[in-house]
Amino acid sequence: RKEVEQDPGPFNVPEGATVAFNCTYSNSASQSFFWYRQDCRKEPKLLMSVYSSGNEDGRFTAQLNRASQYISLLIRDSKLSDSATYLCVVNGKYGNKLVFGAGTILRVKS
């Protein structure tokens, strides 16, 4: 089983739609959770950290369910510029390393 699993998509949505991505992780001892964004042929960049109580950053909301080992990302009012691959990231078994999911592709169309 992979340490971090994501639905690869692609998710094709119209502008203005709300879209949600899910991610599961296998290491129950993981303490840190993130969403990174990667544009086509570019490097990954941190989108947001994910906190136990859930957190919001503008149109983006992240949730964590430790009991189910599940992380989600909700994007409201999708923009064309949101088109990218979204990587679910967890610190791995040995703490100092990040483990990246394979990514979920989002395509927002006008």
Partner 1 sequence: DAGVIQSPRHEVTEMGQEVTLRCKPISGHDYLFWYRQTMMRGLELLIYFNNNVPIDDSGMPEDRFSAKMPNASFSTLKIQPSEPRDSAVYFCASSLFPAGTGGHEQFFGPGTRLTVL
| Interaction between residue 55 and partner 1 (CB under 8 A) | no
Binding window for partner 1 (CB under 8 A); candidates: 9-17, 52-60, 63-71, 96-104:
96-104
**CB contact burial 47-59 (16+ within 10 A = b; e otherwise):** bbebeeeeeeeee
Instruction: Name which position in 12, 18, 31, 52 contacts partner 1 (CB under 8 A).
Output: 31
| Interaction between residue 60 and partner 1 (CB under 8 A) | no
Instruction: Name which position in 18, 46, 52, 57 contacts partner 1 (CB under 8 A).
Output: 46
Choice between 25 and 78, CB closer to partner 1: 25
| Interaction between residue 54 and partner 1 (CB under 8 A) | no
CA max distance for the chain: 43
Q: Beta-carbon neighbour count of residue 77 at 10 Å?
A: 11
Sequence-distant (6+) residues with CB within 8 A of 53 are none
